Structures are given as structure tokens and as C-alpha cells.
Amino acid sequence: MNFDPRYSGRNFTSVGTRPIRPDGVDKVTGRARYGADFNMAGQLVGRVLRSPHAHATIRKIDTSKAEKLPGVKAVITAADLPDLTDGDAAMYDILDNCMARTKALYDGHAVAAVAAVDARTARQALKLIVVDYEVLPHVTDVDEAMKHHAPLINDAIFTEGLEEKPVKPSNVTKRSQFGHGDVHQGFGHADFVVERSFKTEQTHQGYIEPHACVASVSSDGTADLWVCTQGHFVYRQHCAQLLGMEASKLRVTSSEIGGGFGGKTHVWAEPVALALSRKAGRPVKLVMTRDEVFRASGPTSATSIDIRIGARKDGTITAAEATLRYSCGPYAGSWAEIGAMTAFACYKLDNVKTVGYEVLVNRPKTAAYRAPSAPMAAFAVESAVDELAKEIGMDPVEFRIRNAAQEGTRSSYGPVYGPIGIGPTLEAARSHPHMKAPLGPNQGRGMACGFWFNFGGQTCTDLNIGMDGSVSLAVGTVDVGGSRASLSLVAAEELGIAYEHVKAIVADTSSLGYNDMTDGSRGTFSSSMATISAARNAIKILRERAAQMWDISVDDVVWEKGHAVARGEKHGNLGKLSLKEIAAASGKTGGPIAGHSELVADGAGVSFATHICDIEVDPETGATRVIRYTVVQDAGKAVHPTYVEGQYQGGAAQGIGWALNEEYIYGKDGRLQNPGFLDYRIPVCSDLPMIDTQILEIPNPNHPYGVRGVGETSIVPPLAAIANAVSNAAGVRMTHIPMSPPRILAAIEAERGG
């Protein structure tokens, strides 16, 4: 089946409209089933015992008392999850993170788990488990962890990517480098150079729904898992591998998802729930508390970044350099590497060099958070870019336009760009009314740009046409942001039928081929490509069936607006056959009609955005208020514009929280002090203005409709845009995120010399 994914520049009937979401009614009435809403007869309650220490050797775990407590049906430790990873280091880290094996590596690290008849018994049982810890020195700060005297988290780690092989172990797992040209020479041509260091604190995705699952392992070795996840196929693979099962014996069904943002791309509780169920012989439901979600799921990195940028008087950047240190938690990652790739991606640079260091700390394992690693790098770069524009005496938008990457630019991370949206978003921002809105006292305006790669990946869909002509679409990418509506629009568009006749579902892992998870802004991009392909395959069959019904050659049948049409003079007297009519006759023309598609969705178009915001700062308290916020972003093609706007607004809202108040606060004892929404301050509704959006559509040449991913880029510019606005309002450059009131007030006082 030759599928041509190239952009075709067609006119749209369904795509680009804004129908009501198909999952809306169930969600607002409470009927929708989220992770914790699945239940089974005989189900037990699973609870996890977690380390109170940031770093400790586990000498011994005595579970005997807990096992004897009436109502306890299973107690497990790492011994119940034997190492089956067979030298796969990444899988071993996942296993160790699910259940600590020899050392507890952070406050909240799982060390044992119980399954009991009710929550009260399970909680009591946890108190009866005796863990003998030898507490070790710990380190939670990314800069401290890099120092030579820092406590070593894993003495088997030697820094990769150094020119000389290191002789001593280190908390730095990897050094990576990107760029081209000669920065030394470039800085020699600069009239102005800005050099600054920045820090960002660790944040959590803050999804409202905690991790939740029900695991049921049968005595025949097969199992079912109902779970809230961004990728049930990946969960199946990981769980099957960790438990020593064949993937096909484990059926994973994804629930509705109350937010993921990258945080539900990893297994934590699921292998534990399966191991408990296997041992107890009964289904086990495991729901993490909010405290557990903060302490023991996967927040983003804390970072420390140095930036140096030089430019000529005319505003041309001559050289740009960044050193980025990202915390990974206690396991190796590639977070700084992604930061180093994205840092200068918006700009056309002759001389650029970025270096990333992956740093181990005694904090939970870093996981993806919406355009992972990019917002911090953008914060540092875009702050320095703003400062440089100011030094040169140029308008910050003009300065960015002058240096913006274009089609044909070699990106700072390597590839040469195709058609891209950075220039157009900047120009749209320049002429946006927001730029001319008057500012009041103590108010400042800031703007910043952001980039994200976007991903494609393995995808498949089934499109089944019912006897009544209605269409069911089974996809394998979890719907985290409205993709069932968008994919229904795409199926309707391709088939030429009404949106109302298409119903999309997310199929379980036994009903559909493998799909990568919904991450990298790939859900709508890749599943729409597979849907178009599946629809085209179905159309081919529809044409064949029409040809059969007419008894003419299929070559004389074309598909137009939901109908088979006979072409050619000799067929001029044949009326059109609708999809419904062909479907109704399918029992007599060869059986059910369906279209399938299995593909790797290549060519996810890169995405750019420019944000503008106005912030008011109370100079006496450091309090901030977001007055106005505008997002301009390239969507390629907005399939369902309301969802696209929602993605833009959501990313901005999360970025606002990150920029102003959200942070993991660790005590000297290495324990997390704010594992709850009271003191981990995500914005509440009244903290945010209406976030204005502008969708640009610069078609992605590698997608039939020109679609680009839109989910992640919107969180990249806010940290910087807000920092620039606060800096302008307060009259002092802010270099530490979050810009909480105490930090802002201290900066203002320091500037005053107070």
C-alpha cells in the first residue's frame, strides 16, 4: 500500500471546524472512567512503603509482621521483582525505580508494597514493615552534585562523552555537545557581549489525576491492566519485560486521562500492582496519593545554565554559547542534551556551541514535562537575547527577527530547516495589538520565542465501516488533548462524510498493533497520518465494491465527497453510490469494509512560537500579577482550532506557574517539604488572565494536511517571556526561576542597594 504523506494543499470541509468534543458529556457528568474508576470483584488495595531518606543503603527489610496482619494478602519487596532486564541498563533503572533494590535513592523511593482487603489494613501493614537503613550523605542541588567532593550516587557511573576516559566515578553521567562554526572567532567580531548565569528549580507536571491502575494476574499467567497512561503499548512492553511475560499475554487498557504532560510516559506503580496481584492471586488496585505523586513520580529537571552571546552593532549575532547542567534524579538521562539541542534553535547562527551535562541527584527520576528540557534553555537564552538587544539599543522583536532562522538555515543542533514559523510568529507578534497596549505603573512587557522538535513514530489505526455506513475509528495513541475529535474530523474529511458519523476510540493493546505513546506532540500528527492512510485504503475497497455493484472496471470509479462516481462516457448514466449504500450492500459484495494502516510517521515538522506578556510587580512585596498574555504559534494546520487554542493556553498557563511560583523545595535532610498543591503552587483560575491566541498555519510539507504537533511548544517561551516582563517591570534582571515574591523583592532591594 503506497501511502503518499506529502502535503497536497487541498481545500477542507471538516478539518478546521470546531465541533463539540465527543468525550465532553461524559467528562462533565462524571461518567467518564479515569484510572481510579475501574473496579473488579475481589479487588485488593495496594499501598507502597517509601523511603523517608534521600540516600540510604537498605540493609534488611522485615515484612513478617505485616504478612501476619489479618487482611493482608501479599507483601512484596525487590525480591519479588527479580532482575530480568538482561543487561538493559535503562530497563534496570526502571526496575530499580519501581522498587529500590540495594539503596533508596530519594525521599519517596519505593521499598516495599502490600495488598490488603481494605485501605486501613494496607496502611497498618505498611507500619509493620521494618526497614533497616544505613543513611548515606545525600545531594539534591545540581551544582553541588557536580563538585568533586559531592556524595556519589552511583559509583559505577563514569562520565560519558569526555575526550579522555575518566578514571573516577562521577555524578555527571554524560557530556554532550552541539554546534558549528568557531565561537571564539565569533566573539572576536562582537561589539556587545552578554554573559549570564541562570538557575531554574524543579517543577512537576501537576496533572490533576494521580497515577492509578488495577492489575489482575490470572493463575494461567495472563494478565489485564487498566491504567491511566499516555502510552499503554509502552506500559505493556515495560511491564511484560519486568515481570517476565510475553507482551501478548498482558492486555493493557488505557483510561481517560486527567492530564499527563509527559509525566505518564513511565511506569512506577504498574509493575508493583502486577507483582502484588501475581502474589496475592487477586486483582489489585493501586492509586498514588498526591504526596506520592510529588515525591515519587517524574518531575522535570532543575537546571543551572551559563549563556554567552555576542552581536555586532547592527544587531547581527556573531557567536552564541551555552553550558547547561540538568538534574536527572538518581538515574542517567539525556535531559541536558535536549536542552543543548533546543537552546539556540530559533536563530540563524554562524558560530554556536552548546554543552550539556547530565547530573545525578537524590531526587525522583526526571521524566518528560511538555517539551522536556526546552523551557529552561529558552529561559536562559531568551533572557540573554533580550538583554543583548537592550545593550545594542534595538527593539527586542526586531533584534530577534534579524537573527531568526529561516528555511535553509542550518539549525544549531544540526539539521537544515524546511519551511518554518519562527519569522512569521515574530512578525505576527510585532503587529499584534498587544504590543501597543498601554502599560500602567509597575507594569512591564516581555516577549520570547520557543522551539520544539515534535515527533512522529510508530502508529497504526483501524477504520471500520458499519453496515449502516457509520464509521468507527480505533486508534492507539491515548487521547490527552482532544485527538478523538481531531481524528474523527480527519476521517470524515478523507471519506467525505459528516463528522457525526465517525466515532473514534482508543483501542486496547490486544486490539490493535503497537503504537508509540502520546508524547512529543505526536498524537494528532501521527494518528491523523495513519487515519488518512487507513481511510484511503478503505476508499480503495469502497471503489472496488462500487465497481462490482455496477459491474464496471474499478479504474473507472473515483471517490468524490463521500460517493463512488463512475467516470467515462460509457458510464455517464450511472448515478452516484454513497458510502452508506455501498456499506449496506457489503454483505453481498465481499464482506465487511475496513481500512487499516501501519506506518512510521516521519517528518514531524518543527514548531515555533512567540509569546508576549505584561506583568505587574508590587515593588514593596515582590508580588506579581499577569495582566495580559498572548501566544502566537505555528500549527501547520489546525485540525480542530479550539483544541489547538486550548493547547496554546494550557502551555502558557503551566509556564506561568513554573515561572512565578512552582518549585520543589528540599530541606537540609533531603526530604521534599512541599508535596501537595497547598505549597506547590500551580496557578489557580484567578491567577491567570484570559490567554489570547493566534494560530499561524505554515503547512508541514511531510503531512497530507500540513499538520504539525502543537502540544508542547507553548510551554517553551513563557519562562523567558515572563522573566523579561518582570525584569522590565522591576528594573532588575531576574535570573532564578521561579520568580517568587521573596526572590523578586530581594532582587529589587539588592538593586536599590538596600
Partner 1 sequence: MRYIRPLSIEDAVGQLAGSAGTAAILAGGSDLLVRMKGGFVEPDLIVDIKSIAGLSEIRETAEGFSIGAAVPCAVLGESAALKKAWPGVVEAAKLIGSKQVQGRCTITGNLCNASPAADSVPALVAAGARASIVGPGGRRTIAVASVPTGPGKTSLAKGEIIEAILLDKRAPRSGDAYLRFIPRTEMDIAVVSAGVNLTLDEHGVIKAARVALGAAAPTVLLVEEAAEALIGRKLDEAALERLAKVCFGACRPIDDKRGTIEFRRKVAGVLARRAATSAYARAGGK
Residues that bind partner 1 (CB under 8 A): 123, 291, 620-623, 660-661, 665, 673-674, 678-679, 681, 683-684, 686-687, 740-742, 745-746, 749
Name which of 216 and 661 has its Cβ closer to partner 1: 661
The distance of closest approach from Cβ of residue 730 to partner 1 in the complex, given in angstroms and rounded to an integer, is: 15
Name which of 698 and 745 has its Cβ closer to partner 1: 745
DSSP string over 386-437: HHHHHHHT--HHHHHHHHB--TTPBPTTSPBP-S-SHHHHHHHHHTSGGGGS
Query: Is-contact 300 207, C-beta < 8 A?
Result: no
Name which of 71 and 161 has its Cβ closer to partner 1: 71
The distance of closest approach from Cβ of residue 470 to partner 1 in the complex, given in angstroms and rounded to an integer, is: 42
The distance of closest approach from Cβ of residue 327 to partner 1 in the complex, given in angstroms and rounded to an integer, is: 19
The distance of closest approach from Cβ of residue 76 to partner 1 in the complex, given in angstroms and rounded to an integer, is: 21
The distance of closest approach from Cβ of residue 206 to partner 1 in the complex, given in angstroms and rounded to an integer, is: 14
Query: Is-contact 585 603, C-beta < 8 A?
Result: no
Q: Using CA atoms, how far apart are residues 213 and 414, in angstroms rounded to an integer?
A: 41
Backbone angles phi, psi at 490, to 5 degrees: -65, -45
Name which of 143 and 687 has its Cβ closer to partner 1: 687
Q: Using CA atoms, how far apart are residues 615 and 617, in angstroms rounded to an integer?
A: 6
Q: Using CA atoms, how far apart are residues 386 and 458, in angstroms rounded to an integer?
A: 40
Neighbours of 52 (CB within 10 A): 18
Amino acid residing at 680: Y
Name which of 141 and 508 has its Cβ closer to partner 1: 141
The distance of closest approach from Cβ of residue 296 to partner 1 in the complex, given in angstroms and rounded to an integer, is: 16
The distance of closest approach from Cβ of residue 49 to partner 1 in the complex, given in angstroms and rounded to an integer, is: 13
Name which of 294 and 453 has its Cβ closer to partner 1: 294
Distances (CA, A) of 385 to 194, 195, 343, 401: 8, 10, 12, 12
> Which residues contact residue 754 at a Cβ distance below 8 angstroms, ignoring those fewer than 6 apart?
none
DSSP string over 162-192: -SS--SS--SEEEEEEEEES-HHHHHHT-SE
Amino acid residing at 341: M
Name which of 50 and 432 has its Cβ closer to partner 1: 50
Q: Return the DSSP state at 160.
A: B
Question: Minimal CA–CA distance to 746: which of 620, 657, 615, 614?
Answer: 620
Q: Using CA atoms, how far apart are residues 677 and 658, in angstroms rounded to an integer?
A: 13
Backbone angles phi, psi at 139, to 5 degrees: -145, 130
Query: Is-contact 317 347, C-beta < 8 A?
Result: yes
Name which of 510 and 674 has its Cβ closer to partner 1: 674
The distance of closest approach from Cβ of residue 665 to partner 1 in the complex, given in angstroms and rounded to an integer, is: 5
The distance of closest approach from Cβ of residue 741 to partner 1 in the complex, given in angstroms and rounded to an integer, is: 6
Name which of 220 and 620 has its Cβ closer to partner 1: 620
The distance of closest approach from Cβ of residue 418 to partner 1 in the complex, given in angstroms and rounded to an integer, is: 42
Element (H, E) at 630: strand 624-634
Name which of 296 and 371 has its Cβ closer to partner 1: 296
> Which residues contact residue 115 at a Cβ distance below 8 angstroms, ignoring those fewer than 6 apart?
44, 45, 46, 72, 73, 74, 75, 122, 276, 277, 279, 280, 282, 284
